[in-house]
Amino acid sequence: MENRHFDVIILGGGAAGLTAGIYLSRAKMKTLIVNEGTAGGQMVLTHEIANYPGVESTGGYMLGSTMKNQATSFGAKIFNNSKILSLDLTSDVKSIELARKGKFTSDAFILATGGRSRPLNVPGEDEFKGRGISYCATCDGDFFQDKEIIVVGGGNSALEEAVSLTKYANKVTVVHQFDHFQALEHYIEEAEANEKIEFIMESEIAQFYGDDKLTKVKIENMRTHEFTEMDIDGVFILIGYIPNTELFEEIVELTDRKEIIATRDMETNISGVFAAGDCTAKKYRQVTTAVADGTIAGLAAVEYLSNKK
Amino acid sequence: MTLQTNLPHVETAEDLEKLINENENVMVCCGRMGPMCLPVYDIMDELSSEYENVKFADMLFDTPEAAIIRNHPACASFAGLPFTMYYKNGKVVKATTSIQSMEQVTEILDDKFAK
Ligand SMILES: Cc1cc2nc3c(=O)[nH]c(=O)nc-3n(C[C@H](O)[C@H](O)[C@H](O)COP(=O)(O)OP(=O)(O)OC[C@H]3O[C@@H](n4cnc5c(N)ncnc54)[C@H](O)[C@@H]3O)c2cc1C
């Protein structure tokens, strides 16, 4: 059992989790990072990061890889692409069971599970993913050369990507649930000035149709509740992010938006359980803020463990 | 030109033919260095020690040589990177489009390439 026991287990291998891993392993804490996805987390989704101080401009994947290498070089162990079967955060000795790897225990946990793209959750969405439905304009835009597409959303990313997708598509229709946008003025102005972009406001996609490819959507007007159908080649869903906290519901204290509530020292309501990064309740979600949270959570966990010994 | 991954790279259509004809079970991920593709390369890298009966490789989507995958009938309806191909005895037995999870990949490997 000895080599299956860690001082700290970190859930999440994004900017916050990797930073906590760097600080903990440098402080000679036996550290395991359990990550459901690829090391780097949302940084991997970012082609270019130009606002990380000290680094002029870099690919998100590169920044994530460097953080991962720093954590492992100081001794942290990382399991990527892991599936969690069970989790016990409340006992004095905490534990986690992973598919294909078994059970591990620790004296403290750091929750740094970040967030993910919000899906629409309507019929046909899973079926047509990659066959007309995309969540990444920079990845899949060029499949829609001279085609007609929809961008769902009314925030900064939706409007920015709607403009960038006009490089490929003949026509881009922005479908947004409200009668106004939640984006910065210059994104709105740029989208409204683009002749290839049309807007369907106060409306939501209710269903996706097609055979082996997406061909049509059903749109509901949220004011009149009337349905219309529209032939379409592609739909980009850019409606924001949700925190990855399902696993902690009923265990760790969450806000009504399902974000983890943490103190300034990143402590949760459970002794020995800390939280960091985009999964916590906070206003600004950036790599810098995730890294700052990860630093504090790592150092607070070190202090917690030394007080415990 | 190749991708910057830890996987073996397939550079030409001829290389791909050779790989799938000389090995019973082959998984090839054809993509770019983008956010939907990187997780799949990462999963393949991790699984390569676990599935010794499968050869794992990647191929750059944007080379003319990758037309062998891009234009394969199994990919006719695909509009999301990466295109991931599973070959058994030289024949495509499964193809997927867009990002896949560890569970989705292992389910296909266990189903198509059972030891
Ligand atoms: C498209 C895009 C562009 C962006 N551009 C910028 C930018 O230019 N500059 C900037 O500063 N910020 C940018 N951001 C925001 C920034 O990427 C995030 O704020 C930051 O990376 C969050 O880091 P994190 O570690 O908190 O979470 P994440 O990066 O989300 O990492 C969480 C990790 O935890 C894993 N995970 C999820 N659930 C579990 C679980 N139950 N158990 C274990 N692991 C789990 C996930 O797979 C992931 O790897 C961008 C975000 C996006 C989506």
**pLDDT of B6 higher than 90:** no
Judgement on whether residues A67 and A28 belong to the same structural domain of the protein? yes
The catalytic residue among A7, A88, A139, A279 is A139
Rounded to whole angstroms, the Cα distance separating A205 from A40 reads 32
**pLDDT of A47 higher than 70:** yes
**pLDDT of B65 higher than 80:** yes
Is A139 tagged catalytic? yes
Q: What was the ipTM of the complex prediction?
A: 0.73
**pLDDT of B115 higher than 80:** no
Rounded to whole angstroms, the Cα distance separating B51 from B56 reads 9
Query: What tens digit of pLDDT does each residue of A177-233 get?
Result: 999 999 999 999 999 999 999 999 999 999 999 998 999 999 999 999 999 999 999
Q: Which residues, 6+ apart, have CB-to-CB distance to B46 below 8 Å?
A: A80, A81, B102
Judgement on whether residues A293 and A257 belong to the same structural domain of the protein? yes
Average pLDDT over residues A232-244: 94
Is A279 tagged catalytic? no
**DSSP for residue B54:** S
**Average pLDDT along chain B:** 94
Domain span at residue B60?
Answer: 13-112
CATH number where B67 lies: 3.40.30.10
> Inter-axis angle of helices A60-73 and A15-26, to 10 degrees?
20
CATH number where A209 lies: 3.50.50.60
Judgement on whether residues A264 and A232 belong to the same structural domain of the protein? no
* Interchain pair A130, B33: CB under 8 A: no
Query: What tens digit of pLDDT does each residue of A62-110 get?
Result: 899 999 999 999 999 999 999 999 999 999 999 999 998 999 999 999 9
Give the pairing type, strands A197-200 and A203-210. Answer: unpaired
Mean pLDDT is highest, among A37-46, A122-131, A289-298, B27-36, for A289-298
**pLDDT of A2 higher than 80:** no
Q: Which atom of ligand 1 is nearest to the CA of A51?
A: 9
Query: What tens digit of pLDDT does each residue of B74-96 get?
Result: 999 999 999 999 999 999 999 99
* Last-in-domain residue among A194, A220, A237: A237
Q: List the single residue in A80, A136, A212 with the smallest CB-CB distance to B35.
A: A136
Judgement on whether residues A104 and A6 belong to the same structural domain of the protein? yes
**DSSP string for residues in chain A:** -GGGEEEEEEE--SHHHHHHHHHHHHTT--EEEE-SS-TTGGGGG-S-B--STT-SSB-HHHHHHHHHHHHHHTT-EEE-S--EEEEE-SSSSEEEEETTTEEEEEEEEEE---EEEPP---TTTTTTBTTTEES-HHHHGGGGTT-EEEEE--BHHHHHHHHHHTTT-SEEEEE-SSSS-BS-HHHHHHHHH-TTEEEE-SEEEEEEEESSSEEEEEEEETTT--EEEEE-SEEEE---EEES-GGGTTTS-B-TTSPBP--TT-B-SSTTEEE-GGGBS-S---HHHHHHHHHHHHHHHHHHHHHH-
- Pocket flag, ligand 1, residue A160 (CB < 6 Å): no
Q: Determine, yes or no, domain membership for B3.
A: no
Number of structural domains, chain B?
1
Domain span at residue A152?
Answer: 119-237
Query: What tens digit of pLDDT does each residue of A121-170 get?
Result: 999 999 999 999 998 888 889 999 999 999 999 999 999 999 999 999 99
* Interchain pair B79, A80: CB under 8 A: no
Contact in structure between B40 and B100 (CB atoms under 8 Å): yes
